[in-house]
Amino acid sequence: MGNSKSYKKEKQGLLMRFLNVVERVGNKLPDPVTIFVILWFVVLILSYIVSKSGITAVHPGQIDEATGKNLVISGVNLLSKEQLQLFLGNIVTNFTSFAPLGLVLVTMLGAGLAEKSGLMETVMKSTVTKVPKRLLTATIIFVGILANAVADAGFVVLPPLAALVFLGVGRHPLVGLFAGYAGVAAGFSSNLMINMLDVLVSGFTIPAAQIVDPNYVGTPAMNWYFLIASTFILTALGTFITEKYLAPRFEGSNYISIGREETSEVTPLEKKAIKYAGLGFLICVIVLVALCIGPDAFMKDNETGSLLDASAPLMTGMVPIITMLFFVPGLTYGIITKKIKNDKDVASILYDSMAGMGSYIVLAFAAGQFLALFNSSNMSSLLSIKGAEWLKDIGLTGPGLLVAFVIFAAFINLFVGSCSAKWAVMAPIFVPMFLLLGYDPALTQMAYRIGDSITNPLSPIFTYFPVLLAFAKKYDKNMGIGTIMASMMPYSLIFGLAWIILLVIFMIFNIPLGPGGGIYYHM
């Protein structure tokens, strides 16, 4: 137990009343699948209205072969007999051709095996329990930021583990708990490596850009350089926030002691398995590098000889490469720890990881139908062209436009926690709109990802917020939502400000966001 000093409970000020409203409104929102189904009917009705209104727009990126002039876009009535028949016949195709579906499921074959075999949990345990005390906070923030590479495992594993590690070195466990959660949640769109989240968001961005420019080619690595820079900046800021703001509020206050038996030290067998898993990962990297070396290297573009062109096999094959980089270490770890004894065990783990994707598959079905309807109505093109013209007329361009979009995405994230659900709706509107203003889809995607990350820790309707609350109550049975939000607020505000400044710097100096991901785009 700590001493008798208690930390202050937050009063219901203006900010807390606002957050309470957010919580009540957010809890009343339907499930994302239901939202997409509602949007089906909204699009059907609006398509009728728009088609009858006679609204048209000149497409700046497509030529009408009959006239030789820029194509004139008009609304399509989806309630007509022909369009309803077409939609009925394409329902299955709309689902199976939904770009993010295959990308995410293939990636999960590797990431799921690494997670279910226990590799990722052990890696996190061995990382945060073996560092010097003075580097402990920075390590927890850093590992939390990297944890999005294993999907949602970081939210479940790292915060309680960080609490126990802090407890083990004589510090308040809630400081470790909240620091771990902030790293995972607020730093959700930073990383040193391309992972499933990059695959997921690019799966929406690329088709959205192709609404305006059918020749557009993008890759999951389009934000990679920006993500690498973000990782180190947010780690430093997260450490500063934890030690200068969070720790003074809790250190020296009472908490419930739950014992040290839960620290779950890494066993000798797990240490051995990690070493062999690391060796397996290293072998994969060596093979990958070997395939990139030489004038006629397998991973180079056949025409340009570049590794980083969007059409290069290294970029087009990024999804299976990521899958293999997870699969081989996960398989090796499972074999060494005896969790995998034969091929049936491998298949069983893969079945289990895919079973966890059931909710995403249902969401993909609903989102796929929505996107098909939205694009078929031509409203995506009309809205993008008209929106771009309006933004030009009012003069809202440049960094100010992207900052406004970050804030907008952050606000929406308070109500709709699913990254894919939001981007499935927003990408077909904002990616083409900003592309028509001359901005690369990679820039629009990165701005969205910043907004989608910074308010994660604040949102009471975020999937893992109740999980964090349950963890916190182990150390303080009176822990409430207000205390957690007040603890997370500095991370959201400072991370958001730093990210926006970094994005503006990239824009001003025209620094590429990643391979094939620039700032400006010319059709």
Kindly report, residue by residue over 170-191, the tens digit of the pLDDT: 889 999 999 999 999 999 889 9
State the chain's mean pLDDT as an integer: 84
Contact yes or no for 192/228 (Cβ under 8 A): yes
- The per-residue pLDDT for 36 is 82
Distance in angstroms (rounded) separating the CA atoms of residues 200 and 247 = 35
What would the mean pLDDT of 318-322 be, rounded to a whole number?
81
* Residue 231 predicted with pLDDT over 70: yes
Distances (CA, A) of 23 to 188, 361, 465, 486, 516: 21, 27, 11, 14, 39
- The per-residue pLDDT for 209 is 93
- The per-residue pLDDT for 206 is 92
* Residue 205 predicted with pLDDT over 50: yes
Contact yes or no for 309/516 (Cβ under 8 A): yes
- The per-residue pLDDT for 29 is 62
Task: Say which amino acid occupies 130.
Answer: K
Quote the distance between the C-alpha of residue 199 and its chain's center: 9
- The per-residue pLDDT for 328 is 95
Q: What is the number of other CB atoms lying within 10 angstroms of the CB of residue 332?
A: 23
Token pair for 387 = 């929106």
Distance in angstroms (rounded) separating the CA atoms of residues 217 and 439 = 14
Q: Which residue has the higher pLDDT, 128 or 201?
A: 201
Q: What is the number of other CB atoms lying within 10 angstroms of the CB of residue 135?
A: 11
Most confident range (mean pLDDT) of 223-227, 244-248, 265-269 is 223-227
DSSP states along 438-507? TB-HHHHHHHHHHHHHHTTTT-TTSTTHHHHHHHHHTT-TT--HHHHHHHHHHHHHHHHHHHHHHHHHHH
- The per-residue pLDDT for 280 is 95
Q: Out of 71-80, 232-241, 258-267, which region has the weakest mean confidence (pLDDT)?
A: 258-267
Cα three-residue angle 427-430-434, rounded to 5 degrees? 130
pLDDT tens profile 263-289: 457 889 999 999 999 999 999 999 999
- The per-residue pLDDT for 5 is 42
Most confident range (mean pLDDT) of 109-113, 121-125, 397-401 is 397-401
Task: Say which amino acid occupies 477.
Answer: K
Pairing of strands 70-74, 56-63: antiparallel
Distances (CA, A) of 235 to 148, 165, 228, 424: 14, 18, 11, 29
Q: What is the number of other CB atoms lying within 10 angstroms of the CB of residue 93?
A: 11
